[in-house]
Amino acid sequence: MADAGMLRFHVPEPEVRPGGTPDFSDVTIPKAGSVPHPEIDVDPRDIRDLAFSIIRVLNRAGEAVGPWAGLLSDDELLEGLRHMMTLRSFDARMQMAQRQGKTSFYMQHLGEEAVSCAFRKALAPGDMNFPTYRQAGLLIADGYPMVTMMNQIYSNEADPLKGRQLPIMYSSKEHGFFSISGNLATQYIQAVGWAMASAISNDSKIAAAWIGDGSTAESDFHSALVFASTYKAPVVLNVVNNQWAISTFQGIARGGSGTFAARGLGFGIPSLRVDGNDYLAVHAVAKWAAERARKNLGPTLVEYVTYRVGAHSSSDDPSAYRPKAESDAWPLGDPIVRLKNHLIQRGVWSDERHTQAEAEILETVIAAQREAERHGTLHAGGKPSTRDMFEGVYGEMPPHLRRQRQQAGV
C-alpha cells in the first residue's frame, strides 16, 4: 500500500530517450494467427480480450496464417503492395520538395502505409472516411490522382482547394475523403454524425472515423464514442497508435487504460487491436468492422498498433526526444517489407520484380510531380488568384466581403 503522508505526482515517461538503446521488450506481440475470428454479431462482452491482444496474419516466415487469413487474392495483394510503395515514394518526393522550398510543409506516413491503404480496400463506393492528416493512403488506394494531391501541396493554380489550405489537408467527396481540418479529433464525432445520417436516411453507406493515439485525449473522441454507442451508428472508429504524438509518447494519452482499444469497452463498443504493419490483418479487421456497420450491428473500435518511423512533420526533429534507431527495433517491422516477403513466399513476387517496381513507381511519381510543377509551386509559377481568397466563405458573398474584396483591389 502507498504510504500515508506526502502525495507524489505521477508523470509517465517512455522507456528510452535519445542516447539510450531502444527497448520494446515490454511490448507483448502475440503469435500470428493466434487471435480468434469472432462472428460479426458477437456480443461485445464476449470479445473483451481482443482489446488487449493483437490480431496478426503474417508470421515471421511471411506466411498468412490463422482465422483472419485468406481474404485477398494474389492480384489484390500485389495491388496493395503497389499502393503502399506508391505512398512511400510519394512521401519521399514531397518531403524533398518541401526541403527544396517548393512547399511550406509536409507530413509523411513512413511505416504506417498499410493502415490506410489496406483499410480503403474494405470500404464500398459511397462510404465516407473522416481522416486525419496521416491517411493519404486512402486516396492513393482509391485512385485519386497524385497530380491533384501535389497541386494541393504546392498551392498552385490547379490546387482544388484554391490555395486556402495548408499542404496535405486534402478534400475529396468523390473519393470518400472528408475535408481535413487542422483541429485534432473534430472529425471523429463528425464521422459518427455522418453515419447517423446514413441510418436516418435508411441508406447502406457507412463512415470511418480516424484519429491518432495522442488525439484520443481530445474531448471529441469521447463525444464520438458516446454518440456512436448510443445510436449504434454505422461507423468504424479507427485509432492509429503509432506510439508518438509529436514528442509525446503514447503513454501520456493512454494513461492507465492498458490499450487504446480498451477505451471502447466502457462504451459497450466491440474493440479490436490489430497489427498495423500487417496489410492482411488490417484489411481483414477493417472488413469485419465494415460488415458489422453495414449490417446495422453498430460501431467497432479498431486500434492499429504501428510505429511512426518518420518525423512528425517536415518541421520536426525526432532525434531530440527518442533514440535514432528506435524504428529499427520496432517489433512489427516494416509493412512493405512484410507484404513483399509474403508475396515472394506465395511465389508471385521476387526481389528483382520489387526493385523494378520501385523504379517504375518512382518514375510515375516524378512524372506526376513534373506535371504538377507546370501549374506552379508555392513560391513560383501559377498560383490561385487573390479573388479566390474571398470566395466560398459563404454560399453567396455577403456585402461586407464584397467591400473587402474591392478594397483588396480584386
Partner 1 sequence: MPRRTMIEAIRDAMDVSMGRDERVIVFGEDVGFFGGVFRCTQGLQAKYGKSRCFDTPISEAGIVGSAIGMAAYGLKPCVEVQFADYVYPAYDQIVSEAARLRYRSNGDFTCPIVVRMPTGGGIFGGQTHSQSPEALFTHVSGLKVVVPSNPHDAKGLLIAAIEDPDRVIFLEPKRLYNGPFDGHHERPVTPWSKHELGEVADGHYTVPLGRAVIRRPGAAVTVLAYGTMVYVAQAAAEETGIDAEIIDLRTLLPLDLETIVDSVNRTGRCVIVHEATLTSGFGAELSALVQENCFYHLEAPVVRVAGWDTPYPHAQEWDYFPGPARLGRALVETMEA
Binding residues for partner 1, rule: CB under 8 A, are 128, 130, 160-162, 164-165, 169, 171-173, 178-179, 181-183, 186, 188-198, 200-201, 207, 219-220, 222-224, 226-227, 230, 392-396, 398-400
**Nearest Cα to 221, choosing from 252, 258, 184?**
184
For residue 223, the minimal CB distance to partner 1 (Å) is 4
Nearer to partner 1 among residue 129 and residue 259 (C-beta): 129
Nearer to partner 1 among residue 18 and residue 160 (C-beta): 160
For residue 101, the minimal CB distance to partner 1 (Å) is 24
For residue 231, the minimal CB distance to partner 1 (Å) is 8
Nearer to partner 1 among residue 92 and residue 197 (C-beta): 197
Nearer to partner 1 among residue 88 and residue 162 (C-beta): 162
Is residue 114 within 8 Å of residue 56, measured between CB atoms? no
Nearer to partner 1 among residue 110 and residue 128 (C-beta): 128
Nearer to partner 1 among residue 170 and residue 307 (C-beta): 170
For residue 252, the minimal CB distance to partner 1 (Å) is 21
Nearer to partner 1 among residue 168 and residue 281 (C-beta): 168
Nearer to partner 1 among residue 50 and residue 235 (C-beta): 235
Say which amino acid occupies 186: T
What string of H, E and C letters represents the secondary structure of the chain? CCCCCCCCCCCCCCCCCCCCCCCCCCCCCCCCCCCCCCCCCCCHHHHHHHHCCCECCECCCCCECCCCCCCCCHHHHHHHHHHHHHHHHHHHHHHHHHHCCCCCCCCCCCCCHHHHHHHHCCCCCCCEEECCCCCCHHHHCCCCCHHHHHHHHHCCCCCCCCCCCCCCCCCECCCCECCCCCCCCHHHHHHHHHHHHHHHCCCCCCEEEEEECHHHHCHHHHHHHHHHHHHCCCEEEEEEECCEECCEECHHHHHHHCCCCHHHHCCCCCEEEEECCCHHHHHHHHHHHHHHHHCCCCCEEEEEECCCCCCCCCCCCHHHCCCCCHHHHCCCCCHHHHHHHHHHHHCCCCHHHHHHHHHHHHHHHHHHHHHHHHCCECCECCCCCHHHHHCCCCCCCCHHHHHHHHHCCC
Nearer to partner 1 among residue 116 and residue 172 (C-beta): 172
Nearer to partner 1 among residue 161 and residue 339 (C-beta): 161
Say which amino acid occupies 185: A
**Euclidean distance between CA atoms 130 and 237, whole angstroms:** 10
For residue 337, the minimal CB distance to partner 1 (Å) is 36
For residue 158, the minimal CB distance to partner 1 (Å) is 12
As given in the structure block, the three cell numbers for residue 280 are: 492482411
For residue 203, the minimal CB distance to partner 1 (Å) is 8
For residue 162, the minimal CB distance to partner 1 (Å) is 5
As given in the structure block, the three cell numbers for residue 95 are: 518531403
For residue 35, the minimal CB distance to partner 1 (Å) is 32
Nearer to partner 1 among residue 210 and residue 244 (C-beta): 210
For the CA atoms of the chain, what is the radius of gyration? 22
For residue 50, the minimal CB distance to partner 1 (Å) is 26
For residue 366, the minimal CB distance to partner 1 (Å) is 27
Q: State how far the alpha carbon of 362 is from the alpha carbons of 75, 86, 100, in Å.
A: 21, 8, 18
**Euclidean distance between CA atoms 270 and 302, whole angstroms:** 9
Distance of CA 16 to the CA centre of its chain: 25
